[in-house]
Amino acid sequence: MSKEEELLNLSQIIAKCHRCELAKTRNHVVVGEGNINSKIMLVGEGPGYNEDMTGHAFVGKAGQLLDKELASIGLDRKVVYIANIVKCRPPQNRNPLPKEQEACINFLRKQFLIQRPRLIILLGAIAARKMIASDFKITLEHGKIIEKKGVIFVGTFHPSALLRDPAKKKLAWEDLKTIRKIIEDNKLLLFDNQ
């Protein structure tokens, strides 16, 4: 089975999920976006209003900024895969609760197993705490390269945090340059199916 077929099967399962309360208020599940053959995975927190209405990840204001960040280092959505910790929108865009993250995390693990990325970029504290370490401090540890079992993890600011506090953009730019260097050093712009 191709990665695309595996992902489609998984998406059909996620679409019917009722493992937590978020299922009751969602309009769409948001599984992920981009190229599952990429060696680069980005992980956000969870869908917001625009994502819930469309079923696509990072399509609101934060998504537009994310696109600009990717473009600044020569990337776009077609050469990475973007997913979230939770697949359904938390009401009023609150942080997903620990029990909601726990109910959903196996889906991200399955996405990881299908994609097998070499680099995982965590967008914001929620994603970094869930995927790197529960005490991860984004203000202190953003841009740090952490390698576990052959996978490189880098946490950086969530684009929404940059919209709230543009002063952080300078720091985010340093992280983006680190990310670009990892991609070049490890030749990560080649795809598994090439």
- Return residues touching ligand URA (CB under 6 A): 30, 44-48, 51, 57-58, 62-63, 84
In the numeric block, which tokens belong to residue 134? 């529960």
Closest CB to ligand URA among 46 and 155?
Answer: 46
- Report the DSSP beta bridge partners of residue 41: 81, 120
Closest CB to ligand URA among 159 and 192?
Answer: 159
| Minimal distance, residue 50 CB to ligand URA, in Å | 8
| Minimal distance, residue 194 CB to ligand URA, in Å | 27
| Minimal distance, residue 54 CB to ligand URA, in Å | 10
- Give Cα 158 to chain centroid, integer Å: 10
- Give Cα 72 to chain centroid, integer Å: 18
- How many other CB atoms are there within 10 angstroms of residue 78's CB atom? 10
Per-residue CA distances from 88 to 83, 93, 147 (Å):
12, 10, 29
Closest CB to ligand URA among 30 and 183?
Answer: 30
| Minimal distance, residue 47 CB to ligand URA, in Å | 5
Helices 98-115, 3-15: crossing angle, 10 deg rounding: 160
Closest CB to ligand URA among 38 and 84?
Answer: 84
